Chain A
Amino acid sequence: MPLKILILDDEPIVGQRLKATLEKEGHNVETFVNPLEAVSRLEGKTFDIVVTDIRMDDMDGIEILELVLQKSARTKVIMITGYATLEVARESLAKGAFDFIAKPFKLKEMRQAIEKAVDALQQENPGNPAGN
């Protein structure tokens, strides 16, 4: 079933590649490079899955995570980290992130993470993953 996915990374190529792949799988994907634009979009719409980079110019991925969960606790947030350091990963998991992926990653890894998120969403709320 189609999911609403938001992808935020200040590297445009990341959004482009993920969008192409995920749309082919039938998901509904919106991509952003500017965190502030993404934030205003997140305020207007509830997504099933949010993928965000941790390190960005104007905002940090952890802030996005907190904001998303505050608005909709069931949204699954996947963090992309430049540093595959345990510390950042632990912090994001502790703050409620669903998973994290370290750069550089392959499309398959991202797809697997998203599949896991879909499974989790279905278990929580069978039949209506989008919650509406």
Chain B
Amino acid sequence: MSTITLQLKLRLFIYLGIAIFLLNIPVIYFEITKLNQRLVNLELAEDLYNTILEVRRYEKNFLLYHDRESLLSNRFYFQQASELFSKASMQFQKSFLGSDIAQLGKALQEYEKFEKLYSNPSALTTNERIETKLRNAGKDVVAAADTLLKMQRRRVSRAAGNALKWPLIFMGAMLVLFLIGAKIIIADVVRPFGLIEKAMQKVAHGDFSPIPYGNKNERRAGHMVAAFNRMVQELESREEQVIHSRKIASLGTLVSGCAHELNNPINNIVLTADVLNSKREMTTERQEQLMGDILNQALRASEIVKNLLEFSRAETSVHKEFDLAALLRETMRIAENHIKLSHVTVHDKIDDNLPRISGNHQGLQQVFLNLITNAVHAMEGGGNLTIRAQRENGNKVKVQVEDTGTGIDESILPHIFDPFFTTKDVGKGTGLGLSVSYGIIKKHGGQIQVQSKPGRGTIFTVTLPVHTKIDQDLTPPCGERMA
């Protein structure tokens, strides 16, 4: 059953319904025609019966009074009965009721035989023996006509019953068909929709886990669930690409910060080399000091370049152990430029004894950079940015990014994690920062929450397990390289 697609099943039911309906029409037509025929037959049988009663009435009169008048009437009605009989037997033959009437035919022949004995007017005298025979033949005729009539009555009532029965049977069949169809629709459509609706809500929040093929109900909805799971898979690989493009976007922030940072050591090197290069006399000691400065500044520059490289490396799902405090401070440094330009003061409340955590270094850096960038954006005219990090019970760490910015209006709060939701001008925000962050935290088995007071500020809280087991199935098979 489950191998037949839902579409086929529904089509089957519709065709079956139409077939039953179409069959219904000729059957009912046939039954009504039959009933009509039977009613005509019954009428004929009644006429015949009544005529025969007339025959017998005049027979009785004749036998009482031996008058000519009664005999003639008797003859007349008998003639009429014979005509009706031949009409009826023809009619009945047509409706395959020939055998019903045969009895009456025989009785009529017998009756005629005795009646003929009175055809001669001189024979109007009484003859006990013949009279009795005539009377008995008359009785037989009435009995046969009566049987015929009763039989016709039964047939009419049976035909009426049939005419009523068939529509009822068809209606019953339609009802059964309808109930089965409804059951299938509920099982194959309504339930899976419920299942998929729930799953979609999860997807909207960046959780791309497929619907499990667990219990029977889910298996019944197989094709739909399978289609959904395929879509989720596709979406997830798309999300990896989005994370990638986000990284390129944050690279912009990073590069401008680095450019400024790099300028300082380079400037120091240029100045110092310039001094060394001048033709002025100087002590060896002084020369060594200047050389040392150049060396230090060169190392400083290379450190900055290393940071840049580390961040831009494309291994989105590398999973390693690292120092969370260092990651947070590094991230703050990357955003430093942006922070200063907005006259924002940073408060570092990172605990010194934070545990080392395992996870995706680069992904988490992106999360905190997104949160810090959002916070700074919310404080264009300056404010306080506080980064807190501490160990929590149950082998967890909690990181909070708090700002004193605009806050988030209650009406938009439910949407901020949605992909492409942004309140920023076109070109300023893609609306991907939080949705991507949510996905990354989710993959680490962590949580991201927000509290906000419009006009006062916002706190984003990230909780992460110390030992993350990243679900390897959820990460792409092999790191794509940055284009």
**A residues adjacent to B (C-beta < 8 A):** 11, 13-14, 17-18, 20-21, 24, 55, 57, 82-83, 103-108
Choose from A24, A103, A107 the contact partner of B266 (Cβ within 8 Å): A103
Does B260 reach chain A (CB closer than 8 Å)? yes
- Select from chain B the residue with minimum beta-carbon distance to A12: B268
Complex CA–CA separation, A92 to B340 (angstroms): 18
Complex interface bits, B261-276 against A, C-beta within 8 A gives 1, otherwise 0: 0011011111110110
Number of interface residues of B (CB under 8 A): 18
8 contacts between A and B (CB under 8 A): A13-B268, A14-B271, A17-B275, A24-B280, A82-B264, A104-B269, A104-B270, A105-B271
B127-186 CB contacts (< 8 Å) to partner A: none
Q: Tell whether, in the assembled complex, residue B340 and residue A55 are in contact, meaning their CB atoms are under 8 Å apart.
A: yes
| Chain B residues proximal to chain A, CB less than 8 Å | 259-260, 263-264, 266-272, 274-275, 278, 280, 293, 297, 340
**B275 in complex: contacting residue of A11, A21, A55, CB < 8 Å:** A21
The SS class assigned to the B binding surface is: helix
* Interchain CA distance A108-B275 in the complex, whole Å: 10
> Count the A-B residue pairs with Cβ separation under 8 angstroms: how many?
49
| Nearest CB of A to B129, in Å | 148
Contacts of A13 in B (CB 8 A): 268, 271-272, 293, 297
When distances are taken between beta carbons in the complex, the residues of chain A under 8 Å from B269 are 104
When C-beta atoms are compared, the residue in chain A nearest to B271 turns out to be: A17
Identify which of B259, B264, B268, B274 contacts A107 (C-beta below 8 A).
Answer: B274
Q: Given the interface contacts A57-B340, A82-B263, A83-B260, does A105 sit within 8 Å of B268 by beta carbon?
A: no
A126 to B156, CA, bound (A): 141
Q: How far is the CA of A83 from the CA of B264 in the complex (A)?
A: 11
Distance, CA A18 to CA B267, complexed state (A): 12
| Chain A positions within 8 Å of B259 at CB level | 83
Bound complex: CA of A108 vs CA of B274, how far in Å? 9
Task: Known A13-B272, A13-B297; judge A105-B260 contact (CB<8 A).
Answer: no
Whether B267 pairs with A105 at a CB distance below 8 angstroms is yes
Say how far A21's CB is from chain B's closest CB, in angstroms.
7
Q: Please, which residue of chain B has its CB at the minimum distance from the CB of A13?
A: B268
- The answer for the CA separation of A11 and B293 in the assembled complex, in Å, is 12
A22 vs B266: C-alpha distance in the bound complex, in angstroms? Answer: 21
Question: Complex formed: what's the CA distance from A21 to B282 in Å?
Answer: 13
Q: Given contacts A18-B271, A20-B275, could you give 15 more A-B pairs where the C-beta distance is less than 8 Å?
A: A11-B264, A14-B267, A17-B271, A17-B272, A21-B275, A55-B260, A55-B340, A57-B340, A82-B263, A82-B264, A103-B263, A106-B271, A107-B271, A107-B274, A107-B278
